[in-house]
Amino acid sequence: MGVLEGMRVVESSAFVAVPSAGMTLAQMGADVIRIDMPGGGMDSGRWPVTRSGRSLFWAGMNKGKRSVSIDLSDPRGRELAAELICAPGPDAGCFITNLPARGEMSFASLRERRADVIMVSLKGTRDGAPAVDYSVNPALGFPTATGPEGSADPVSHVLPAFDLIAGQMITGALLAAERQRLCRGRGQLVELALKDVAAAVLGHCGIIGEVVVNGVDRPKYGNALYGGYGQDFVCGDGRRVMVIGLTVRQWRNLVKVTGSETPIAALAARLGVDLDGEGARFEARDAITAILRPWFAARSVADFAGAFDAAGVTWSVFRSFAEAVREDPDLSTDNPMFHMLDQPGIGRFPVPASPVTFGAGPRDRPTPAPGLGQHTEEVLAELLGLGSGQIGALMDSGVVAGPVPA
């Protein structure tokens, strides 16, 4: 009963971006049908995996989808996939992919079958060269600007950030194209490249301008917040916290709650700057940090956590993943986004629904990821009207496959 109820999207994908796009659409109520090779595509066993080898990644990226196993290396398989993509219905005819769409699955061929088909295709680079988040990120400079001040070693991010940005962008682009189809009746091919997504981010954040206009090559600033005040501190109990003074209000709250008004005012007077200016705070960050460091070193997190929250300070403890799962109620069923879910073959753990709530209806609970080929029969019967004899023959010929036995 999600906001996209009635919409149908076929997905043929691997890695993070397109699977996360499909899952986002599924969690908003679309019927998302993921097509994979019998036995699984490239990412069916992607890490993290359970001790028995089941992919937690697959389970995470495919929640709420239906799974159909079709051999896309066989023209008869591609023909079936094309029929699924182009199945009738005003809200169907949508295809998202980052795999080579050959022959029957090419946009030209799909459009012959259904004139208003929408296909969103993600490439690695605009030229079609292979690229993944791990290769795009070093190319564009982020690892070189990440890590301890003064270090020459690049640090790559662990979060597949560009993949996840691209995934959400695919969701938006599909909905934008589908909006145009609703209004004007026409479909289209929508294309983007992972590296272009990252390159655009570099521009949007002002970094290309910083290089070209200012002639500045941004160095590493450690964990300091760029352009304002924000810094990590080790506390008396050995825990580390991040505190933020990006806006004037955040900054004043931080100064007040740490009782640092006098030394901070003295610092401002000595430097002849107004520390209400965020750039001034960034430039004076080391002197500010020197004032605040003893305050944190003398206290445990428990000593100030309540006061910080009451004063509206923007801050956080640093946690490992396990500490976060153990300590942070936002990762538990205390958060209505999370539900305990039994993922077949894996077990029971907290699983997120969509982070977005739509006021017109209740938030859907998350539903498990399908087993590979779990819905092959159901989907072929429902969308293409195939009978059990026809489906049986396709299975016997290896063109499609049902569920993999557990």
**319-378 residues near a copy of itself, rule: CB under 8 A:** 319-325, 328, 330-331, 335-338, 343, 346-347, 349-360
Does the footprint of a copy of itself cover residue 254 (CB under 8 A)? no
The rounded Cα 390 to chain-centroid distance in angstroms is 39
Q: Which of 11, 31, 196, 364 binds a copy of itself (CB under 8 A)?
A: 196
Q: Given the complex with a copy of itself, which of 35 and 337 has the nearer CB atom?
A: 337
Which residue among 106, 144, 289, 367 contacts a copy of itself (CB under 8 A)?
144
Residue among 226 and 390 whose Cβ is closer to a copy of itself: 226
Q: Which residues contact 385 (CB under 8 A, 6 or more apart)?
A: none
- How is residue 195 written in tokens? 């590296």
Nearest alpha carbon to residue 226 among 206, 241, 240: 206
**Least distance (Å) from a copy of itself to the CB of residue 367?**
13
Residues within window 150-189 making contact with a copy of itself, judged by CB under 8 A: 153-161, 164-165, 167-169, 171-173, 175-180, 182-183, 186, 188-189
Cβ nearer to a copy of itself, comparing 90 with 103: 90
Q: Which of 163, 237, 274, 364 is catalytic?
A: 163
What three-state secondary structure class fits 108? Answer: helix
User: 206-235: which residues touch a copy of itself (CB under 8 A)?
Assistant: 206-214, 216-218, 221, 223, 225-228, 230, 232
- Of 129 and 307, the one with the shorter C-beta distance to a copy of itself is 129
CA distances from 47 to 42, 144, 168, 261, 301 (A): 12, 26, 22, 49, 34
In the range 298-317, which residues lie near a copy of itself by CB under 8 A?
309, 312-317
CA distance 364 to 244: 34
Binding a copy of itself by CB under 8 A: which of 74, 76, 106, 145? 145
> Which residues, 100 to 129, sit near a copy of itself by CB under 8 A?
107, 124-126, 129
Per-residue x/- track, 26-65, a copy of itself (CB under 8 A): --x-------------x--xxxxxxx---xxx-xxx-x--
Name the minimum Å distance from CB 403 to a copy of itself: 21
Which residue, 84 or 241, is less far from a copy of itself as judged by CB? 241
d(CA 351, CA 353): 7
Q: How far apart are CA 153 and CA 142, in angstroms?
A: 12
The least distance separating a copy of itself from the CB of residue 297, rounded to whole angstroms, comes to: 16
**CA of residue 364 relative to chain centroid, distance:** 19
Q: Return the range that interacts with a copy of itself (CB under 8 A); candidates 68-76, 81-89, 130-138, 297-305.
A: 130-138
Distances (CA, A) of 343 to 12, 75, 164, 260: 22, 33, 23, 51
Helices 261-271 and 248-257: angle between axes, nearest 10 degrees: 130
Q: Is 163 a catalytic residue?
A: yes
Of 103 and 148, nearer to a copy of itself (C-beta) is 148
Cα–Cα distance measured from residue 170 to residue 176, given in angstroms and rounded to the nearest whole number: 10
Contact flag: residue 3 with a copy of itself (CB under 8 A): yes
The span from the CA of 378 to the CA of 177, in Å, is 28
The smaller minimum CB distance to a copy of itself, of residues 196 and 377, is found at 196
Q: Which residues contact 41 (CB under 8 A, 6 or more apart)?
A: 13, 14, 99
Distances (CA, A) of 39 to 36, 46, 366, 403: 8, 14, 25, 9
Residue 65 Cβ vs a copy of itself, minimum distance, rounded to whole Å: 13
The neighbouring-strand residues paired with 323 are none
C-beta closer to a copy of itself: residue 153 or 286: 153
- Our measurement of the distance from residue 305's CA atom to the centroid of its chain's CA atoms, rounded to an integer in Å, reads 30
From residue 271 to residue 290, the character string flagging contacts with a copy of itself as x (rule: CB under 8 A) and all else as - is ------xxx--x--------
Binding flag, residue 197, a copy of itself (CB under 8 A): yes
- Nearest Cα residue to 194 out of 343, 316, 13, 370: 13
Residue 75, C-beta contacts closer than 8 angstroms, at least 6 positions apart: 103, 104
Q: Which of 135, 260, 289, 367 binds a copy of itself (CB under 8 A)?
A: 135
Q: Give the residue numbers marked as catalytic.
A: 163
